[in-house]
């Protein structure tokens, strides 16, 4: 069974998809972490982002693993090295779009992502999962929330990690990222026509997980 969760940053995708996967006993797959880890590698290797052949070559020889830990956290391994912390810095976040807008790189990522669905029950979250990666998914959700709430959530997440950012800058960066994610020609952020829209603005995490779970149970009963 394949469940997709798409939506913009700070809508609650990661927290909710992770909890949902745990509840269902499914594998949780964070595709943003894949784009982030590959961007880190390209930056470390000082690849010119305009050199698409070189980037694609690099992507093909990159190994990214999402390792589920006992405490339900996910470790992101880039060629065997734990980069979970390094891929969440604001600098890296602002660089990901350069890689994520390249259709040839998205193709490589989409191949990796589809391979997860071949032999596992999964909850996969991202931007284009219900539209491009798994258009035939069993259940699709599109999670959104008011931009101010999303920025506040992200601000708190970063603060918890000891990363201090200016709230106003963060809000502007998130608006810019939303725009880029929604307007790129390859794999844009878009609600699939058959995805269920959930606005998490006034809802707690538990309420969103319960809402999604009830849709899944209804579907199973059919
Ligand atoms: O956690 P947050 O929502 O901030 O971002 P993320 O899910 O880790 O994704 C980081 C960036 O990767 C996004 O802004 C997208 O540009 C890109 N991405 C993508 O293009 N396609 C996906 N399926 C997932 C992420």
Which CATH number goes with the domain that contains 19? 3.40.50.300
- Residue 150, number of CB atoms within 10 A of its CB: 24
- Looking from the CA of residue 11, the nearest atom of ligand 1 is 3
Query: Looking at the domain assignment, is residue 215 inside a domain?
Result: no
* pLDDT value of position 58: 98
Is beta strand 74-78 parallel, antiparallel or unpaired with respect to 64-68? antiparallel
Please tell me if the CB atom of residue 155 comes closer than 6 angstroms to any atom of ligand 1: no
Please tell me if the CB atom of residue 177 comes closer than 6 angstroms to any atom of ligand 1: yes
For atom 11 of ligand 1, the residue with the nearest CA is 32
User: 37 Cβ partners below 8 Å, 6+ apart?
Assistant: 62, 64, 76, 78, 83, 87
Please tell me if the CB atom of residue 36 comes closer than 6 angstroms to any atom of ligand 1: yes
* pLDDT value of position 219: 76
- Provide the number of structural domains found in the chain: 1
Please tell me if the CB atom of residue 139 comes closer than 6 angstroms to any atom of ligand 1: no
For atom 10 of ligand 1, the residue with the nearest CA is 32
Please tell me if the CB atom of residue 97 comes closer than 6 angstroms to any atom of ligand 1: yes
What 3 state SS string does 128-156 have? Answer: CHHHHHCCCCCEEEEEECCHHHHHHHHHH
Which of 100, 116, 155 to mutate to test ligand 1, by most ligand atoms within 8 A of the CB atom? 100
d(CA 183, CA 121): 31
CB-based contacts of 163-170 (< 8 A; 24+ apart in sequence)? 163/88, 163/89, 163/90, 165/90, 170/90
Question: Tens-of-pLDDT digits for all 222 residues of the chain?
Answer: 999 999 999 999 999 999 999 999 999 999 999 999 999 999 999 999 999 999 999 999 999 999 988 887 899 999 999 999 999 999 999 999 999 999 999 999 999 999 999 989 999 999 999 999 999 999 999 999 999 999 999 999 999 989 999 999 999 999 999 999 999 999 999 999 999 999 999 999 999 999 999 998 877 777
Which of 109, 127, 153 to mutate to test ligand 1, by most ligand atoms within 8 A of the CB atom? 127
Query: Looking at the domain assignment, is residue 222 inside a domain?
Result: no
Please tell me if the CB atom of residue 144 comes closer than 6 angstroms to any atom of ligand 1: no
Query: Looking at the domain assignment, is residue 219 inside a domain?
Result: no
Query: Looking at the domain assignment, is residue 30 inside a domain?
Result: yes
For atom 18 of ligand 1, the residue with the nearest CA is 32
Query: Looking at the domain assignment, is residue 103 inside a domain?
Result: yes
Which residues make beta-bridge pairs with 29?
124
Structural domain range at position 130: 2-208
Please tell me if the CB atom of residue 6 comes closer than 6 angstroms to any atom of ligand 1: no
Query: Looking at the domain assignment, is residue 139 inside a domain?
Result: yes
* pLDDT value of position 27: 94
Q: Which of 25, 129, 34 is nearest to 87 (CA)?
A: 34
Query: Looking at the domain assignment, is residue 216 inside a domain?
Result: no
Query: Looking at the domain assignment, is residue 220 inside a domain?
Result: no
């Amino acid at each position: 069974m394949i469940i997709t969760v798409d939506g913009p940053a700070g809508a609650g995708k990661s927290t909710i998809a992770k909890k949902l996967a745990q509840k269902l006993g499914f594998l949780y797959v964070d595709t943003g972490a894949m784009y982030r880890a590959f961007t880190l590698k390209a930056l470390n290797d000082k690849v010119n982002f305009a050199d698409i052949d070189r980037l694609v070559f690099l992507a093909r020889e990159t190994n990214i693993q999402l390792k589920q830990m006992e405490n339900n956290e996910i470790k992101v391994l880039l060629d065997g090295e734990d980069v979970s912390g390094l891929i969440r810095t604001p600098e890296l976040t602002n660089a990901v779009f350069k890689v994520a807008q390249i259709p040839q790189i998205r193709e490589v990522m989409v191949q990796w992502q589809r391979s997860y669905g071949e032999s596992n029950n999964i909850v996969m979250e991202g931007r284009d999962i219900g539209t491009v990666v798994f258009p035939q998914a069993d259940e699709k959700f599109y999670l959104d929330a008011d931009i101010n709430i999303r920025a506040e959530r992200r601000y708190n997440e970063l603060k918890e990690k000891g990363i201090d950012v200016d709230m106003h800058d963060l809000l502007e960066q998130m608006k810019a990222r939303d725009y880029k994610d929604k307007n790129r020609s390859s794999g844009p952020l878009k609600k699939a026509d058959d995805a269920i829209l959930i606005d998490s603005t006034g809802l707690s995490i538990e309420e969103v997980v319960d809402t999604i779970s009830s849709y899944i149970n209804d579907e199973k009963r059919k």
